[in-house]
Amino acid sequence: MLRSFFAFRQPVIRFYPRSRRLLFLLLLLGVILTACGSSGNSATSNSAQLQSGGDNSAASTPVSAGAGGAPTLPNGTAVNAYLIRSLSVSLLVNKPLDAEQKITQGVLAADPQAQAAGEDINEQSDGSYIVSLTFAVSAPNYDAVKAYLNAFPTNYPDFKGKLTNEKETVQNVTSQYVDLQSRLTNLRTEQQRLLQLLSQAQNLSDTLTIQDKLTDVEGQIEQIEGQINQLSSQTSYSMVMITLSATPVTASPAPAPQASWNPGGVLGTAFGVLLAVLQVVADVLIWVLVFSPIWLVVLGGYYIRRRIKQRRLNAGVGVGARTAGSSAP
């Protein structure tokens, strides 16, 4: 009975180790297949992200407005107005060279950060001067400099100044600045994503593709940073041009000298008038002489007509006398 018991249990004891080895092999095969599938999914995900990377970098966050209507950055930070301003002022003064020194001192006093950007002095034919000044004025002190120039004729009456022309141009580039900041933020986010993908790349093809896109994104970042720096420099300082001209001096007319009696002059004037009269008479005689044939024909015809008429009248008178004599007793 005991032998039959061991005979019955022996196949079970032999079968159990084989099942466990088979189960271990199946589990090992499943782990290998899972690892291969996850690596394939990772490569597919990386490729999909690389293909969509260009579109994400090109998209820019639209400019939003804060509660007060002011433009804000993508993180919600309000942006002050970015203005590119320039001012041109023309003044008439009695002493342009002295006024130039005074205005330079005044502009630098109104804006300690102002910088002289040019000076031109031209001497005119009448001895006066035209002075042209250019200053780069900081944006916070722009209004103070403008007010100083407008009040210069009043505050310095010795120069007898007069404001003849003032031209101001203002260009608002706030929206452009905010748009560039939004694009820069998106590009930097894309740069970080590409750097992360580059660290996870598992083959040479993905590495080269990621490096190409990373180089393109970094080039766009440098370009936008240059545009932002240019806008910042243009809005941080404003150009102020000042032209100083000399006040025109109107000379009073000199009094006419009193004429003295000059017999020689009177005699000369008389001879001149006489000569003019003789010229007129000579001209008339020349005209008469030139047209004398016509005048002679007209006068001859008139004379012949008068003679014929006179003869007829005399003949009529003689006939009447003879008739009267023959009828008398």
At residue 160, what are phi and psi to the nearest 5 degrees?
50, 45
pLDDT band at 67 (very low <50, low <70, confident <90, very high): very low
The model's pLDDT over 144-166, given as tens digits with 9 standing for 90+, comes to 999 999 999 999 999 998 999 99
Pairing of the two strands 237-246 and 83-93:
parallel
Query: Which DSSP helix (H) or strand (E) runs through 284?
Result: helix 263-290
DSSP reduced 3-state for 26: helix
Asked if 73 and 178 touch (Cβ cutoff 8 Å), the reply is: yes
Selection from 201, 191, 192, 199 nearest residue 46 by Cα? 201
Among 36-45, 118-127, 211-220, 303-312, where is mean pLDDT lowest?
36-45
pLDDT band at 315 (very low <50, low <70, confident <90, very high): confident
Is the pLDDT assigned to residue 63 strictly greater than 60? Answer: no
**Type of residue numbered 158:** D
Q: What is the pLDDT of residue 103?
A: 93
Write the DSSP assignment of 171-239 as a string of letters.
EE-HHHHHHHHHHHHHHHHHHHHHHHHHHH--SHHHHHHHHHHHHHHHHHHHHHHHHHHHHHHHHHEEE
Selection from 159, 167, 99, 88 nearest residue 131 by Cα? 99
Is the pLDDT assigned to residue 170 strictly greater than 80? Answer: yes
Segment 197-206 mean pLDDT: 87
Q: How far apart are the first and last CA of the chain?
A: 237
Is the pLDDT assigned to residue 108 strictly greater than 50? Answer: yes
Asked if 148 and 166 touch (Cβ cutoff 8 Å), the reply is: no
Q: Which residues of 307-321 are buried (b: 16+ CB within 10 A; e: fewer)?
A: eeeeeeeeeeeeeee
pLDDT band at 172 (very low <50, low <70, confident <90, very high): very high
Asked if 62 and 212 touch (Cβ cutoff 8 Å), the reply is: no
Determine whether 53 is exposed, middle or buried from the number of CB atoms within 10 Å of its CB (0-12, 13-18, 19+): buried
Instruction: Please state, in angstroms and rounded to a whole number, the distance separating the CA atoms of residues 91 and 15.
Output: 114
Is the pLDDT assigned to residue 66 strictly greater than 50? Answer: no
Look up residue 250 and give its DSSP letter: -
Is the pLDDT assigned to residue 116 strictly greater than 60? Answer: yes
At residue 178, what are phi and psi to the nearest 5 degrees?
-65, -40
Is the pLDDT assigned to residue 252 strictly greater than 70? Answer: no
Determine whether 282 is exposed, middle or buried from the number of CB atoms within 10 Å of its CB (0-12, 13-18, 19+): exposed
pLDDT band at 222 (very low <50, low <70, confident <90, very high): very high
Which two three-digit tokens encode residue 7? 């005979």
Q: What is the pLDDT of residue 69?
A: 45
pLDDT band at 279 (very low <50, low <70, confident <90, very high): confident
Q: What is the pLDDT of residue 218?
A: 92
Instruction: Please state, in angstroms and rounded to a whole number, the distance separating the CA atoms of residues 136 and 116.
Output: 6
